[in-house]
Amino acid sequence: MALRVDDVSKIDASKDTWTIVVKVIQLWLTPSYSGSKLPSSLEMVLMDSKGFKIHATIRRTLVYRFQNQISEGRVYQMSFFGVCENGGDFRTTCHPYKINFQMHSIVRVMANTSISGKPFSFMALSDVVFKEPDTSFLIGILTGSSGEQEFEKHGKVQKRITLEIDQDGVRVEAAFFGKYVDEIVR
């Protein structure tokens, strides 16, 4: 009997028995701002084989349980998680819901499965300039790039690209290294 896998695009808060196969395209620890040495959460952006993305959170009390099971760039089967509305500022995906891991959530590596596609979604410049974009999403206008560069560090050749992003007149340069250069240049 084949496993029933749900589309990320269909996820809503109607149940907690979803089973998805997704690639972790971004993974980061959110630091605690209360002075604790423990992270506040482990955050992820997940993408399915059709390119649909959803944000997932593992709260502080469960980071220890899942942190060593999940790596950026790998494909997993995930099931038995909570789903809530994706609200607030600084949302990473357009999905109306987000995933919250629970103690009984299950994560399994899918060793012989690959998911390809573009991990980033950029708004058209005309939409940013001529429409009022929803600023609760992480948006900015890419205004410059150094292009892919190589440099030597500790005897190894590494890649780097620097991007200039403008958000409401504030310009920020962000440097990306190694595998992240490949993600951007693709």
List the chain domain ranges.
8-109, 140-185
| R_g of the chain computed on alpha carbons | 18
The burial class, CB within 10 Å (0-12 / 13-18 / 19+), for 53 is: buried
Residue 34, pLDDT score: 73
| CATH fold group of domain 8-109 | OB fold (Dihydrolipoamide Acetyltransferase, E2P) (2.40.50)
The model's pTM is 0.69
Structure confidence by residue, pLDDT tens digits, 107-147: 999 988 888 877 766 666 566 666 665 555 555 566 667 77
Instruction: Give dist(CA 63, CA 43) in Å, integer.
Output: 10
